[in-house]
Structure 1
Amino acid sequence: MADFLASAGSYLFLQNALWAALLASVACGIVGSLVVCNRLTFLAGGASHAAYGGIGLAIYFGWPPLLCTLLFSLGASLLMGFVSLHTPARLAGKEGGADAAIGVLWAAGMAFGIILIELTPGYTGELMGYLFGSILTVPRADIWAMALFDVLLVVVLLFFRQGLWAISIDKDFAQARGLPVRFLYLLLVGLTALAVVMLIRIVGLILVLALLTIPPAIARRFCRSLYSCMVVAGLCSLLFSLAGLVLAWYTNISSGAAIIAVSTLAYGLASLPSLQRKTE
């Protein structure tokens, strides 16, 4: 451990990784808790995989990867959210319902990205970083982008706190109170897309859903309010990211996979009956 700490003080890429872990944990705690409470896990998964289309566009046309992926994922997510809002209740959860449409967009985004990457002349880049993430290669420019997103996220949360809390608890009650439920729902979907793009840099689009949902799922077992759930989920995400980073450093395995392995182990321990009885 002392060797890792000494290296962190000397190497810029390790310092960037630590900043990325901290900044991503803020988004994970806030957005992840809202995603879990609103049962948007499947939609978040669709957003993460559809983001591959943005990666394909960036590689094919030589555009900025972060901005291109962000805009593509945001557009795909809002489309998924629009489909969810306008799916008749009688079709919810059935063939031809919102889940089916999200699944189609999920697959179409990935296929689109793969096709563009394969058509890119002379491209020999390493795609494993996009698929499984690499916190050790996060550039300083992305660190600043993560910081700006966290600021935006906190500002949005302050302005729309009551509305987001209301739709997380009971959408029908929020509708009856005259709140703009559809706007708030699409706002949450948009924030989810932005958080997904941020976390892709940490664990990749294949594993991003786990990091977005495991910490809030653990926090919900021990917290009684949405606010406390966000705080605990953010701390859990930071702890898992740091532990996974240290594990990857000493074992030379994928940092994204190491972070999810630590998160999964923690979820298993939190699910033990003895711990559940203590919190009841």
Structure 2
Amino acid sequence: MNELLELFSFAFFRNALLAALLSSIIAGIIGSYIVARRNVFISSGITHASFGGMGIAYYLGFPPFLGAGIFAVLSALGIEWSSSKAGIREDSSIAILWSLGMAIGILFVFLTPGYTPNLMGFLFGDILTVKVTDLIWLAGTAMLCIILISLYYQAIVTVAFDADFAKVSGLPVQTIKYISAALVSIAIVLSIKVMGIILVLSLFTIPAAAANLYAKNLNKVMIGAVLISVVGSLSGLLIAYFLDLPSGATIIFTLTVLFVVLKMIKLIR
């Protein structure tokens, strides 16, 4: 118990706990929206496409996550535009941007003169290196998600599930789609620092899928997903610290175990 209390005296661990809490709020809300729309593939495409922005930013000497954020937002908007205006199937657009982003990232990292950066932190995340500036961005995004869902819940749900009805109702369908896509991409990029490109999609899908076992209303699914994500993330972080394991992988493993347990309880009932 004393050892656990001593952990809170370390700034890096306090930052990690706050990052886990804030990313859980973001992933619970955004992930529920993604899972409900059955659009997990687009999130994976945005995640991998953002690596292209990281590579370009490294080559030009800019912060890598700035490049990832810009590239992710542009990719998300590009997918929405190409599927609605250019007549390209959404899955085709995602596949093209996914592979293009990864290819660009690898090429620019290779072309960067001098020291080649360690890509493991980007691929698998490192929550223990989260800084105060990262927490500010996470907190701002979490607050933005809560505000938008609170104020425009009905409009967002209507556009997500019945765009034709939303258009007839006079809602700005395309604008809402673009804003939703941009917010999803920003949320994913900010969570990469915590989970990494490889594992971040699981953070957005597992809690939402688990909550969806017990709740069908999207609002309740979001609340349940946030709670499950918080429990899994904080538990995984503590387990990773005491067993000296990679934090991102341990958090995802813990969330998966929670999902299995909840699924078994559902089957028994």
Query: So what's the TM-score if we normalise by structure 1?
Result: 0.90
Instruction: Please say if residues 213 and 266 of structure 2, whose CA atoms lie closer than 8 Å, have aligned partners that are also in contact.
Output: no
Matched residue, 1:26: 25
Q: What are the within-5 Å matches in structure 2 for residues 90-169 of structure 1?
A: 97-169=89-161
Q: What are the within-5 Å matches in structure 2 for residues 207-226 of structure 1?
A: 207-226=199-218
Instruction: Please say if residues 53 and 114 of structure 1, whose CA atoms lie closer than 8 Å, have aligned partners that are also in contact.
Output: yes
2:190 counterpart letter in structure 1: M
2:19 counterpart letter in structure 1: A
Matched residue, 1:200: 192
Matched residue, 1:4: 4
Matched residue, 1:77: 76
Query: So what's the TM-score if we normalise by structure 2?
Result: 0.93
1:114 counterpart letter in structure 2: I
Matched residue, 1:64: 63
Distance 1:104 1:169 in 2: 25
Distance 1:14 1:131 in 2: 21
Q: Could you give the per-residue CA deviations for residues 170-189 of structure 1, whole angstroms, max 9, x where no partner exists?
A: 33332332222222222211
CA offset at residue 4 of structure 1? 3.2
Instruction: Please say if residues 117 and 123 of structure 1, whose CA atoms lie closer than 8 Å, have aligned partners that are also in contact.
Output: no
Q: Could you give the per-residue CA deviations for residues 227-273 of structure 1, whole angstroms, max 9, x where no partner exists?
A: 1111110111111111111121122221111111111122222222x
Q: Which runs of 5+ in 1 are unaligned?
A: 89-95
1:71 counterpart letter in structure 2: I
Q: Secondary structure at the residue paired with 1:124? A: coil
Instruction: Please say if residues 110 and 116 of structure 2, whose CA atoms lie closer than 8 Å, have aligned partners that are also in contact.
Output: no
Q: Secondary structure at the residue paired with 1:271? A: helix
CA offset at residue 2 of structure 1? 4.5
Distance 2:267 2:164 in 1: 30
Instruction: Please say if residues 87 and 98 of structure 1, whose CA atoms lie closer than 8 Å, have aligned partners that are also in contact.
Output: no
Instruction: Please say if residues 207 and 255 of structure 2, whose CA atoms lie closer than 8 Å, have aligned partners that are also in contact.
Output: yes
1:120 counterpart letter in structure 2: T
Distance 1:46 1:147 in 2: 24
CA offset at residue 214 of structure 1? 0.7
166-175 or 247-256: bigger deviation: 166-175
Distance 1:52 1:105 in 2: 11
1:50 counterpart letter in structure 2: A
Runs (4+) of structure 1 exceeding 3 A deviation are: none
Distance 2:224 2:5 in 1: 25
1:37 counterpart letter in structure 2: A
Distance 1:86 1:41 in 2: 22
Instruction: Please say if residues 47 and 106 of structure 1, whose CA atoms lie closer than 8 Å, have aligned partners that are also in contact.
Output: yes
Identity %: 38
Q: Secondary structure at the residue paired with 2:189? A: helix
Q: Secondary structure at the residue paired with 2:236? A: helix
Q: Could you give the per-residue CA deviations for residues 200-244 of structure 1, whole angstroms, max 9, x where no partner exists?
A: 011101111111011111111111321111111011111111111
1:170 counterpart letter in structure 2: D
CA offset at residue 51 of structure 1? 0.7
1:58 counterpart letter in structure 2: A
Instruction: Please say if residues 243 and 259 of structure 1, whose CA atoms lie closer than 8 Å, have aligned partners that are also in contact.
Output: yes
Instruction: Please say if residues 36 and 217 of structure 1, whose CA atoms lie closer than 8 Å, have aligned partners that are also in contact.
Output: yes
Aligned length: 269
Q: Secondary structure at the residue paired with 1:160? A: helix
Matched residue, 1:229: 221
Matched residue, 2:266: 275
Q: What is the RMSD computed on CA atoms of the aligned residues?
A: 1.8
70-79 or 96-105: bigger deviation: 96-105
Distance 2:55 2:127 in 1: 21
Residues 1:14 and 2:5 aligned together = no
Distance 2:2 2:189 in 1: 32
Matched residue, 1:250: 242
Q: Which runs of 5+ in 2 are unaligned?
A: none
Distance 2:106 2:26 in 1: 28
CA offset at residue 128 of structure 1? 0.6
